[in-house]
Structure 1
């Protein structure tokens, strides 16, 4: 993440230089008011606003690569920060009414930079909104109607179990919404991990998760619950449909070409699938447990099992 901030060193240098220039001009051309004459309430209010804008600017630059949207957000927040910074400086330095600097600084810096910043920030947020819609389409199978970055699994880049809980609890009363749940894992993954090491095993999990996402429908949701175990919710899906989709997933993983790093060796994988079917007295945890029990049967049997 820090590497992204290094992409914007020129932007930070520009904002910092402008802030130092305003400070130097105010101190050099203005007269210090004196401690007793300073309105400290205004200093705290305007200073904290300037500080907040600067923090927002750093957060944007630290989390975004270079590009048009980043530049617009940076310019908007930068101009607003400089305007509020000059407002803060005005609480410490007074200018004689005959000085042209009074009109130049207060009229231009405060009255021009603030609306310019708001305009650029608004325009940048409009493009950011369109960007988010595109990202939302890519993340749909990972989050559906809930988003919380704390629920994102850092290894597999799919959601964690909290996402499943929130989704199931939100519309559990609709008995047709969640009729089935799938619990899947790679067959004998522990042997692969022991033979090829943790790094290769982590890469296998990450790439398998991405591959499963490509083979799911738009309305499905996939989450990670254990080392190599995933839960897949398939809303408004009958058990017969779920079985057919599970067969397709197993076939897809069987044809997945996972090559060991630095070699041409391909390691074939087998996906074990357990299908849990909802019963009238079930709660969300019972459905997940039924799917987990089905997975245990699948591991001991032919790789796929349905428990109703």
Structure 2
């Protein structure tokens, strides 16, 4: 029963390990997929954020820094604008930073550009100046110069008395943005759409959506956005859309301080491929763990099966092989075509030991006899308890004469051995019967000859060895 209790506990323990392992791996797999999705999402945003930083925020920060310079304020505060000095300063800034720079002077009501051009700021002709002059924002992003459309950043400049002096800022040709967007689209597959606070499309990777001749496309002109608004949605961030027969995921990024919004459309095919790789890795990991657990269970059951077989084939008192084990070993030797000598021995007057000293004393004697017999045999010999006080010995590759000598040696050792009952010392003897076979004879037949020889030894006075051979096959 002990082996079954151990097996039961082990299976329960193993089941707990399997459950914990599967739950842990499932949690790990889900976490990895979520992390991978976040990584892919972040990876998709990184180039876009880099673009915003490099081509929108950097010009803004450069302009903001330059707008605080004493040189610029001195040029714009002068009662009479020195056009030559202004152009030289703007050209130097363009050469240094790679941007188009301009000054729109309120006192002179003229705009000076770093390319050397200038023009009057006339209301009704130069709308942007008067439009943004009266607005509270100090930084404005705008699209203008329609003959060669530019993206502009306009910064309001004030003197120390907070008197409005005009605008200072940078400009960049829209063609350069289109080239930049084309590179990003080729490398990452992204589409960019920039809109102002009124949802007018100011910049886009799609040339057909770029503003021209002061006419803007509206975000609502796009079918996927219009569909989202018709469904009552207030944001399209993380929305799946279909565009040109392909699936895209929309990321919505607000750009301060311009109050613009960028819509990044990233193709799902690349995300799905990356997530598929993560999912496949998780499935393979799960299968490996399940296979490892299966092998663990298989080996555990094999171990218990072997251990149970060993316990079933071992005599619990003497720890020697029992009758079943001896029969199996005999069958193996017969299959190997090996000659076998068989010794059957019975302890003399053993019933008297049990009757006089008790069964516990008899068990002590049996264990000692078993240990002595086992210690005197070769490694390839097989000794087992046949039943009661009887023991059987199989001697492979041993002649009858050699088996007789072995039996005599064991008989003498036993006769000279003092067996302890735990409290008393006893002298014991045993009778031996020897048989032999070279052919494919069943054990019962060979043992019958050995048993006849054993009883002949008992009839002859016990503590004897007798031999009885089987007839030739």
- TM-score when normalising by structure 1: 0.55
* Superposition map of 1:21-60 within 5 A: 58-59=9-10
Deviations 1:28-52 (A, max 9, x none): xxxxxxxxxxxxxxxxxxxxxxxxx
Query: How far is the alpha carbon of 1:279 from its aligned partner?
Result: 6.9
Residue 82 (structure 1) aligns with: 20
Q: Distance in 1 between matches of 2:388 and 2:26?
A: 53
Q: Quick one: structure 1 residues 281 and 149, their matched pair in 2 at CA, closer, same or farther if it must change by over 3 Å?
A: closer
CA pair 294-2 structure 1, distance change in 2 beyond 3 A: closer
Residues 1:251 and 2:412 are matched in the alignment: yes
Partner residue, 1:189: 350
CA contact (8 A) 1:172 1:284 kept: no
Greater RCO (Cα-Cα under 8 Å, separation 6 or more): 1
Q: CA RMSD in A?
A: 4.5
Pair 1:219–1:198, CA change in 2 (3 A): same
Aligned to 2:442: 283
Q: 2:321·2:383 contact (CA, 8 Å) conserved in 1? A: yes
Which residue number in structure 1 is paired with residue 430 of structure 2? 271
Work out the CA distance in 1 between the residues paired with 2:427 and 2:310.
34
Q: Which has the larger radius of gyration?
A: 2
Q: How far does residue 173 in structure 1 lie from its aligned partner after superposition?
A: 5.7
Structure-2 separation of matches of 1:56 and 1:198: 32
Distance change in 2, residues 1:171/1:83 (3 Å): same
1:57–1:78 contact (8 Å) kept in structure 2:
no
Q: Per the alignment, do residues 60 and 268 of structure 1 end up closer, same or farther by CA in structure 2, a change over 3 Å counting?
A: farther
Separation in 2, partners of 1:159, 1:194: 26
Structure showing the higher helix proportion among its residues: 1
Distance 1:2 1:160, change over 3 A: closer
Deviation at residue 56 of structure 1 after TM alignment: 6.5
Of 330, 350, 359, the match for 1:198: 359
Deviation at 1:57, TM superposition (A): 8.8
Q: Give the match for residue 194 of structure 2.
A: none
CA contact (8 A) 1:193 1:200 kept: yes
Give the equivalent residue in structure 1 for 2:83.
none
1:156/1:209 contact within 8 Å kept:
yes
Residues 88-99 of structure 1 mapped to structure 2, 5 A cutoff: none
Aligned positions of 1:191-230 closer than 5 A: 191-230=352-391
CA distance in 2, matches of 1:173, 1:229: 26
Task: Report the CA distance shift for 1:88/1:187 in structure 2 as closer, same or farther (over 3 A).
Answer: farther
Please, which runs of 5 or more residues in structure 1 have no aligned partner? 6-54, 62-73, 101-106, 130-146
Specify whether residues 288 and 98 from structure 1 end up closer, same or farther in structure 2 by C-alpha distance, changes over 3 A only.
closer
| Distance 1:82-1:266 versus aligned 2 partners, 3 A rule | same
Total equivalences in the alignment = 213
Match of 2:332 among 147, 167, 170: 170
SS in 2 for 1:267: strand
Instruction: Rate the CA distance shift 1:172–1:2 in 2: closer, same or farther, 3 A.
Output: closer
Counterpart-to-counterpart distance in 2, 1:182 and 1:227: 16
How far apart are the structure 2 equivalents of 1:214 and 1:189?
A: 21
Structure 2 unaligned residues grouped into runs of 5+: 37-280, 304-308
Note the C-alpha offset of 1:83: 0.7
More strand by share: 2
1:95-140 deviation line (CA, Å, top 9, x unaligned): 8x8799xxxxxx99x969x86x959x98xx8xxx9xxxxxxxxxxx
Question: 1:187 and 1:81, CA in 2 relative to 1: closer, same or farther beyond 3 A?
Answer: farther
What is the TM-score with the length of structure 2 in the denominator? 0.37
SS in 2 for 1:172: helix
1:292 alignment partner, one of 451, 455, 458: 451
Query: In structure 2, do the counterparts of structure 1 residues 187 and 118 end up closer, same or farther at CA, with 3 Å as the change threshold?
Result: same
Deviation at 1:267, TM superposition (A): 0.6
- Bigger drift between 245-254 and 192-201 goes to 245-254
**Cα 1:58–1:282 shift into 2, 3 Å:** closer
